[in-house]
Amino acid sequence: MKSDELFSWSNLFFQSALLAYEAQAVICLRLTCLATGGPRAQAEASRMITEKIDALADGQRMMIGAAWRGDPELGAKRLLSMYRRRVEANRVRLTAW
pLDDT in tens, 71-90: 888 888 999 999 999 999 99
Distance separating alpha carbons of residues 28 and 87, to the nearest angstrom: 12
Whole-number pLDDT of residue 2: 64
Q: Residue ranges per domain, the chain?
A: 3-95
pLDDT value, residue 7? 62
Asked whether the predicted pLDDT for residue 10 surpasses 90, the reply is no
Calculate the alpha carbon distances from 45 to 19, 42, 63, 70, 74 in Å: 21, 5, 27, 37, 32
Of 4 and 11, more confident: 11
Confidence at residue 74, expressed as pLDDT on a 0 to 100 scale: 86
In this structure, which amino acid lies at residue 8? S
What pLDDT, on a 0 to 100 scale, did the predictor assign at position 91?
97
Q: Are 22 and 80 in contact (CB under 8 A)?
A: no
